[in-house]
Amino acid sequence: MKRSLSTAYNHLFKCQQPLQIIGVSSRYFSKDEHPVMPPCDFEPENYESLPFERILEIRKEKISPSLYTIYNKPILLHQGFKQWLFDYEGRRYLDLFAGIVTVSVGHCHPKVTEAACKQFGRLCHTSNIFLNPTIHQYAEKLTNLMPGNLKVIYLTNSGTEANDLAIQMARLHTGNCDIISLRGGYHGNSPTTSAVTSVGYYKPGVATGFNTYNTMCPDVFRGIWGGSHCRDSPVQTTRKCSCSPGCCEAKGKYIDQLKETLSTCAGRKVAAFIAEPVQGVGGAVQYPKGFLKEAYELVREKGGVCIADEVQTGFGRMGSHFWGFQTHDVMPDIVTMAKGIGNGFPMGAVVTTPEISKAFANFVHFNTFGGNPIACAVGSAVLDVIEEDGLQKNSEVIGTQMLLEFAKLRDAFEIVGDVRGKGLMIGVEMVKDKETRQPLPANEMNLIWEDCKDMGVLFGKGGLYNQTFRIKPPMCITKDDVTFAVEVFKRALIRHMERSAR
């Protein structure tokens, strides 16, 4: 049943006391007051570049029209420090989207910056047909973090390149063509990766790759089947189920859909199955426990290999494990990665087994910039910082805190349909009401989004209908930041209720 505006105020603003009613641990603030940002000891430089209006003119006249901006008044960013961004007028924002899940250890982390500057002054670039120490040092350091026989690395410039290469590698190794992916998955925007991407607004509407098929996404909130014990997460859906212990009916039904896809769309043999351990662009969608394990078995029975797309989930963001696939207890044959690998530096990688790499060695594969000295110096520094700053553990502790706090808002507000995720990869799915689970309309999503920005918090958005707020901050975020972010989001929800009641 929907809560009335007056009822919500009784809960949220009852007396001049700290809020306890809906379970958000925070100080009291009035109806018109913004929550107070945690302190930051970084002082940005004065902005001395192009005027804001001139920036907009250049954007309109000179830059690709497909490169859209967000917010009614786009933010002109000037500097960043750890989890904070500063605009040209000196306003500070808590960055909960990390450059689309790219800034892993924090904006301009001193150790990463130092490594880049030092390498830039020593050797900026050389073709990798020459030897240089950085690529070899990095290859050893990264592959040492990979389990099993995943020991051969190919360095690229982006996640799209990495996934494109992985698909080509799978086809060469197996001698098969068909690639299976999940609906809602995002894997890049090249002709090949556009074909396995299954989010409508990223599809160009022209011929892309070939022999690619998608199967039903095992989304236990929005999908046909789901229950209250499906996820590897501190927060489950509010959907009820009657599963016995150790049994997940939803998982079995989604596996049946994959079997049907393999039987009807693909040939007798397949080349690969590619999936993110948690869907990123799709809205932090988590699959039922055990789904990927059975999916991998089915694909291997059809002669295919399994590709784990770790572009958004890797490098400790899951908290409990360094790689997302490890949370599913599976061993992929090929792993792709990018984004957080370089903390914002354009970099990607494919890691596979010696056996698969041999099949790929029958012709020359070359990438001019992949694995250049600066990229490898940066990537190596990122790995050091993750370990030295304890960022994987921080992702687990702070991510759990954030999930549980946002779950309290789900219980208090009718339009917050689902809170999900693991570590610092979180989705908050918005609905018109919990019973129908219809997506909250875009105009309402945008108003909430704008309110959060005006109060100093930057969320991402995703999902098939852009109905999910995506929370994937730099992994150095703190408990105080979480309290602030939750208060801001709560305030934005209250304002939404006020608008709806008019």
pLDDT score for 28: 34
How would you classify the pairing of strands 272-275 and 212-215?
unpaired
- Quote the radius of gyration of the chain (alpha carbons, Å): 23
How would you classify the pairing of strands 179-182 and 84-87?
unpaired
pLDDT score for 19: 35
The domain at 111-388 falls in which architecture?
Answer: 3-Layer(aba) Sandwich (3.40)
pLDDT score for 32: 58
Chain centroid offset of residue 282 CA: 9
pLDDT score for 11: 40
Rounded Cα gap, residues 110 and 96, in angstroms: 20
pLDDT score for 22: 36
Q: How many CA atoms lie within 13 A of 371 on its CB side?
A: 24
Q: Do domains 5-48+73-95+392-501 and 111-388 have the same CATH topology?
A: no
| 21 token code pair | 């009613």
| 66 token code pair | 């497909």
DSSP string, 10-65: HHHS-SSS-B-TT---B----TTPPPPPPP----PPPP-SS-HHHHHHHHHHHS-T
Helix (H) or strand (E) holding 164: helix 159-174
Q: Domain 5-48+73-95+392-501 in CATH: superfamily?
A: Aspartate Aminotransferase, domain 1 (3.90.1150.10)
Cβ atoms of residues 203 and 195 within 8 Å: no
Largest CA distance in the chain: 74
Rounded Cα gap, residues 355 and 114, in angstroms: 37
Cβ atoms of residues 305 and 174 within 8 Å: yes
Question: Can you name the residues that pair with 107 across neighbouring β-strands?
Answer: 82
How would you classify the pairing of strands 272-275 and 179-182?
parallel
Chain centroid offset of residue 244 CA: 32
Helix (H) or strand (E) holding 500: helix 479-501
pLDDT score for 209: 85
Chain centroid offset of residue 177 CA: 28
The backbone region for 331, taken as left when phi is positive above 0, alpha when psi lies in -120 to 50, beta otherwise, is beta
In terms of residues, how long is the chain? 502
Question: Can you name the residues that pair with 273 across neighbouring β-strands?
Answer: 180, 306
Q: Structure pTM?
A: 0.93
Cβ atoms of residues 239 and 222 within 8 Å: no
- In terms of C-beta density within 10 A (0-12 exposed, 13-18 middle, 19 or more buried), how is residue 286 classed? buried
pLDDT score for 247: 83
pLDDT score for 206: 84
Amino acid identity, residue 131?
L
Residue entry with tokens 């690229």: 156
Count of Cβ atoms closer than 10 Å to residue 380 Cβ: 21
Rounded Cα gap, residues 169 and 162, in angstroms: 10
- Contacts of 478-481 with CB under 8 Å at 24 or more apart are 478/38, 478/83, 478/398, 479/398, 479/401, 480/38, 481/38, 481/83, 481/94, 481/398
Map out the domains of the chain as residue ranges.
Answer: 5-48+73-95+392-501, 111-388
pLDDT score for 7: 42
Rounded Cα gap, residues 196 and 36, in angstroms: 43
Q: Which residues of the chain have pLDDT under 50?
A: 1-31
Cβ atoms of residues 422 and 318 within 8 Å: yes
Closest-CA residue to 336 (of 190, 119, 183, 118): 190
User: Using H for helix, E for strand and C for coil, what is the string for 50-100?
Assistant: CCHHHHHHHHHHHCCCCCCCCCCCCCCEEEEEECEEEECCCCEEEECCHHH
- In terms of C-beta density within 10 A (0-12 exposed, 13-18 middle, 19 or more buried), how is residue 25 classed? middle
